A and B are shown apart, each in its own frame.
Chain A
């Protein structure tokens, strides 16, 4: 095969050429646009304002148009032979459907709304436009098919923004009874986001020179943008709460020797060098700054109590089910029951606590009732994940241990449980994430008031008392009603404006509470992940 055709792909791709660079810039441009659109969606970038001295909408429109033109230019250049690529005969059905969907929307919307031709004509026009886009994608060679329809879509959207047909103040009244409307604030970011995804896809294909390599690049960029947007959403959510919550949290905060409250650590009285009243005070009439300390302490004890109850019970049950019980009807029933319990709505658990636990613990809401209720909620997940973790411990370990004459229980304790621990901890992490934020069960079983005075901060450790008669220990602190952060947040919001004078700026107070809740839950996560890391390391590094 000496005279291999020139269209054959080369084994070693030549170094980056100018055309590659153009396609690369197009991919980068779509990433920037994507980020801008996400930011605009969450109002981190104002649509009415301007960026780099240009109106935001104009900037978005300009970039979109540029991207569209670049994509089309690349496709056309490749088709006319100016750019060396290795396209397939057709872009394929999936690309065709992908290109048809946005064009159906555009065609339908323009015909029915902009031209005012009515729904039926709109539908017909939409399908017709989509059909044309489909045909233009599937029929020509891949380089043209995967760039022309998508590039035009980008350019059209960009021009609509540029020319101000859809400006920052644009509204589309849907005319429904609910007075729904699509505003520019929503439409512009969403439209940018979607068209940018298409633009990134098309330009990535172009960057890869179409063909198998191009498709690989296209998929790669799509997957990457997707993953990025998940991270971005999470980041923005957290950033949103942090930005809103910081002022309230730092209200009256001071750093410096002797500024903080006095505490006793290991019998030595120390004055903390920082003072953050919001997390160190309760609510009281004469406080300079109000805070949520009782709720923080309540949440921490609540979670600690629930974990202390659920983990031994759950791991014990899992040990029994995996190591001792014969696999059969009984284990299946238990499996179904645990799965069912895990999907039981939390309010049902709350009602159980309300009707069953409260009458037994002094007829009042109490921390103990809350702990037990949440412990029961956590239990099924601990059972499920521990069981899973123990089942995945290889039988070879058990055989090896048995062959050394080691008893079953000792084998479980020294080999099976250590190997299963990382999995167990994973389950507990997931479960704690759920129960730490639960509101409904707490509302019914343990919550006190909306604004909790600092004097109601539970002191579980200091609350233990020894008594002369059985059971010899008593802990009144466990039997008091106390608050927890999610409940407090709910109470603050539902208390409305009237009560807000208590705490100064009520809005700040709420956001700060939300931020503290987030921090507390994330700290539990961090502890869990560190624990898991520790146990996992012990298994593989010792």
Chain B
């Protein structure tokens, strides 16, 4: 990039920056890292986000190491209830790691070490005696690539409740006339409707889920996640493997879901984050949470210069 343009963007950005934002005086040309990021000191107030409503999850001083690799550094943020929180940042900055801490999926990575505190409705989830089954029922997850089980659509949705003993459609139950088949079918229909998939698959619930298109599979995974009646839904780049039409459907769906659920979504698509989220957290290289706040504020008037550079596409 030529010197000229750098100069211009910087001038422009200085203009619309709020007067309270005092940057270092010798800021004509900030030093940059090899990745093109400007070096600056993260300020605590950039990640303080005041919101009305209840706090669903609160993360305090979260540090994650994979072996010697320090993947998340002292992250603190509060996630408001029944809203969409977007996590953005360049790849490898720890978004997925952060997300997996919220339902303790990182426990499954043997090299991971987690320090700090995460609370769900005020209860610490990193303490002895936490029931992982209960936690993951309350905090569901949707993965980057659609991963339905190689079973029928119906069985995919009934899987979780069945394993938790909430539904019994086994042979014995049928013999004893205690089968919950009707309940199951109601549940399947409700979850598929909530995931905006019912109209497309209602006549082939017994077909294998692997026969669905990618976008349908991802919505099926969302429906499967809804089946255990979660309070929080974590989504890790749920639309990154999908075409634009399927992506649009997922985005609409997320909007609907936020009425009843607390949605936390990782995305590398900034337009998507701006479109669907209420608040946005920006992670930058090194596993730092640099800025967290109302989505409009973060995208239109970021405090951090690096966040601004990232959002305007200077690196990432």
Contact = CB atoms under 8 A, between A and B. Distances in A.
Interface in A515-542: 539-542
B221 interface: yes
A540 B150 contact: yes
B140 A403 contact: yes
A406 B135 CA distance: 11
Interface residues of A, number: 22
A415 B149 contact: yes
Contact of B132 (A394, A405, A418, A539): A405
Contact of B136 (A396, A402, A418): A402
Contact of B143 (A326, A396, A414, A540): A396
A407 B133 contact: yes
B207 A542 contact: yes
B284 to A, nearest CB: 27
Contacts of B206: 542
A402 B163 CA distance: 11
A400 B143 contact: yes
Given A405-B133, A542-B208, A400 B147 contact: yes
B137 A542 contact: no
B150 A419 contact: yes
Contacts of A418: 150-151
Contacts of A414: 159, 163
A397 B149 contact: yes
Interface string A85-107: 00000000000000000000000
A326 B110 contact: yes
A399 B132 contact: no
A177 B130 CA distance: 84
B108 interface: yes
B152 interface: yes
A405 B133 CA distance: 4
Contacts of B133: 405-407
B225 interface: yes
A243 B15 CA distance: 97
A389 to B, nearest CB: 13
B150 to A, nearest CB: 4
Contact of A405 (B145, B149, B160): B160
A404 interface: yes
A410 interface: yes
Given A541-B208, A542-B206, A542-B208, A397 B159 contact: no
B103 interface: yes
Contacts of A397: 147, 149-150
Contact of B149 (A400, A402, A403, A407): A400
A542 B155 contact: yes
Contact of A404 (B137, B148, B155, B207): B137
A542 B151 contact: yes
B88 to A, nearest CB: 22
Contacts of A399: 105, 108, 143, 147
B163 A403 contact: no
B146 to A, nearest CB: 9
A424 B208 CA distance: 22
Nearest to B227: A404
A397 B105 CA distance: 14
Contacts of B228: 404-405
Interface string B222-240: 0011011000000000000
Contacts of A406: 133, 159-160, 163-164
A403 B225 contact: yes
B227 to A, nearest CB: 8
Contacts of B201: none
B296 to A, nearest CB: 31
A541 B164 CA distance: 26
B207 to A, nearest CB: 7
Contacts of B186: none
A396 B221 CA distance: 12
Contacts of A394: 147
B70 to A, nearest CB: 24
A396 B147 contact: yes
A405 B147 contact: no
Contacts of B136: 402-405
Contacts of B147: 394, 396-397, 399-400
B225 to A, nearest CB: 7
Given A407-B133, A419-B150, A402 B160 contact: no
B127 to A, nearest CB: 18
Contacts of A540: 150, 208, 210
Given A414-B159, A540-B208, A542-B208, A404 B224 contact: yes
Contacts of A402: 105, 108, 136
A417 B311 CA distance: 46
A402 B164 CA distance: 12
Contacts of A410: 163
Nearest to B148: A400
B270 to A, nearest CB: 26
A542 B155 CA distance: 10
Nearest to B208: A542
A321 to B, nearest CB: 16
B110 A403 contact: no
A397 B156 CA distance: 11
A513 to B, nearest CB: 43
Most buried by B among A394, A404, A415: A404
B152 A542 contact: yes
B164 A405 contact: yes
B152 A403 contact: no
Contacts of B137: 404-405
Contacts of B227: 404
B107 to A, nearest CB: 9
A65 B80 CA distance: 89
A392 B221 CA distance: 21
A540 B149 CA distance: 10
Contacts of A326: 110
B40 interface: no
Interface of A: 326, 394, 396-397, 399-407, 410, 414-415, 418-419, 539-542
8 contacts: A396-B147, A397-B149, A401-B159, A404-B159, A406-B159, A540-B150, A542-B152, A542-B206
In the A-B complex, list the 3 residue pairs whose CB atoms are closest, starting with the nearest.
Answer: A405-B136, A396-B147, A403-B141
